């Protein structure tokens, strides 16, 4: 009896080891964040004439939607709730950290509490030489407030699939497309004016491929083999790409309106022309050669004014 129990325990341990071995083989080491095309475009921005001090208080999920599920109620949110953290990282990536000095505002209460502790320590203690410690430097203030949010998440925008089966051998594929929308604004702290407002959209694809084989191998014996794989584009990565694209567009839109400028005017004008082409459609070659409508109007005014 004891021998049988020991044999059963050893068998169970063997099965558990076989089950955990594939998991250990598939485990990967942690890596840095995935670099996408939007990340490279954002980092490739030419440097500005001067660095801008910006603050991010919040960048919330304004959709209020839960993750779609056709089988049961899902209580996980459809998109990430860390939009502010992604936005801060995107602002730091702009022009390889040359465009924005991002000031911490998302955890402002924690920052104030820590500064209060420092003030109390400096008031109650002296330095090594016995002299009072210097007062704490003031917080840096921002000239521009960057805000907005994730304002839309549409699931099952497009669904479909196809399949075929011949002599018990078949394959099928299914796909689904979702869409996420992001709005981003740059607001002047001095006047409260909305300087720039841009919107970006990102599609999210899910694709599943399945294969099956049904074949009689005997009078009453049926062989059945099935396999498949499903690929889901990460929602967090899609939101990150949409926010990075919004920051890239905000820089170019603000430069086009004259709120800030590139250090190299030639590089800036080329990027602005490409941005106009993607935003408003293709620009005719003759219009590009003659300049934008705003430039043509200014030129006509100078000619009429005799200057």
Q: Where in the chain is the domain with CATH 3.40.50.10610?
A: 33-105+142-263
> What is the DSSP track for 125-159?
-B-TTSSBPPPPPPPPPPSEEEEEEEEEEEEEEEE
Cβ neighbours of residue 134 closer than 8 Å, sequence gap 6 or more:
122
pLDDT value at position 66? 63
Better-scored residue on pLDDT, 95 or 298: 95
Q: How far apart are CA 232 and CA 155, in angstroms?
A: 13
Q: What is the DSSP letter of 66?
A: B
Pairing status of strand 222-232 against strand 144-166:
unpaired
Burial classification of residue 186, based on how many CB atoms lie within 10 Å of its CB (0-12 exposed, 13-18 middle, 19 or more buried): buried
Which segment, 25-29, 67-71, 129-133, 273-277, is predicted with the most confidence on average? 273-277
pLDDT value at position 189? 93
Sorting pLDDT into bands at 50, 70 and 90, what band is 1? very low
pLDDT value at position 293? 43
Is there a contact between 67 and 93 (Cβ–Cβ < 8 Å)?
no
Q: Above pLDDT 70, what percent of the chain? A: 77
Candidate from 31-45, 87-101, 113-127, 210-224 with smallest mean pLDDT: 210-224
CATH architecture of 33-105+142-263: 3-Layer(aba) Sandwich (3.40)
pLDDT value at position 286? 42
Sorting pLDDT into bands at 50, 70 and 90, what band is 74? low
The tokens describing 91, both together, are 């602002």
Give the model confidence (pLDDT) of 160-181 as tens digits: 888 888 777 888 888 888 888 9
Question: Taking 70 as the threshold, does the pLDDT of residue 283 lie above it?
Answer: no
pLDDT value at position 75? 54
Q: How far apart are CA 258 and CA 95, in angstroms?
A: 18
**pTM for the full model?**
0.73
Better-scored residue on pLDDT, 17 or 66: 66
Question: Taking 70 as the threshold, does the pLDDT of residue 267 lie above it?
Answer: yes
Q: How far apart are CA 257 and CA 95, in angstroms?
A: 19
Q: How far apart are CA 90 and CA 304, in angstroms?
A: 45
Q: How far apart are CA 200 and CA 239, in angstroms?
A: 10
């Amino acid at each position: 009896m004891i021998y049988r129990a020991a044999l059963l325990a050893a068998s169970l341990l063997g099965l558990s080891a076989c089950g955990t071995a594939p998991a250990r083989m598939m485990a990967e080491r942690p890596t840095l964040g995935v670099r996408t095309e939007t990340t490279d475009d954002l980092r490739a921005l030419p440097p500005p004439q001067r660095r801008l001090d910006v603050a991010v208080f919040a960048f919330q999920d304004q959709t209020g939607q839960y993750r779609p599920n056709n089988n049961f109620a899902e209580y996980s949110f459809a998109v990430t709730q860390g939009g502010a953290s992604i936005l801060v990282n995107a602002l730091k990536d702009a022009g390889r950290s040359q465009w924005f000095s991002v000031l911490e505002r998302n955890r402002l209460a924690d920052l104030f509490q820590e500064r209060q502790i420092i003030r109390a320590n400096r008031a109650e203690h002296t330095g090594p030489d016995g002299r009072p410690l210097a007062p704490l430097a003031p917080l840096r203030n921002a000239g521009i407030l960057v805000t907005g949010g994730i304002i839309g998440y549409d699931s099952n925008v497009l669904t479909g699939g196809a399949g075929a089966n011949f002599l018990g051998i078949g394959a099928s594929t299914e796909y689904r497309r979702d869409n996420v929308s992001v709005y981003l604004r740059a607001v002047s702290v001095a006047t409260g004016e909305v300087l720039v407002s841009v919107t970006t959209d990102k599609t999210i694809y899910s694709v599943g491929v399945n294969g099956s084989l049904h074949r009689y191998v005997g009078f009453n014996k049926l062989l059945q083999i099935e396999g498949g794989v499903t690929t889901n584009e990460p929602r967090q990565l899609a939101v990150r790409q949409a926010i990075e694209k919004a920051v890239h567009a905000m820089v170019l839109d603000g430069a086009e309106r004259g709120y800030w400028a590139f250090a190299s005017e030639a590089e800036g004008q080329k990027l602005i022309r490409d941005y106009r082409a993607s935003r408003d459609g293709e620009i005719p070659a003759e219009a590009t050669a003659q300049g934008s409508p705003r430039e043509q109007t200014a030129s006509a005014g100078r000619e009429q004014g005799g200057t």
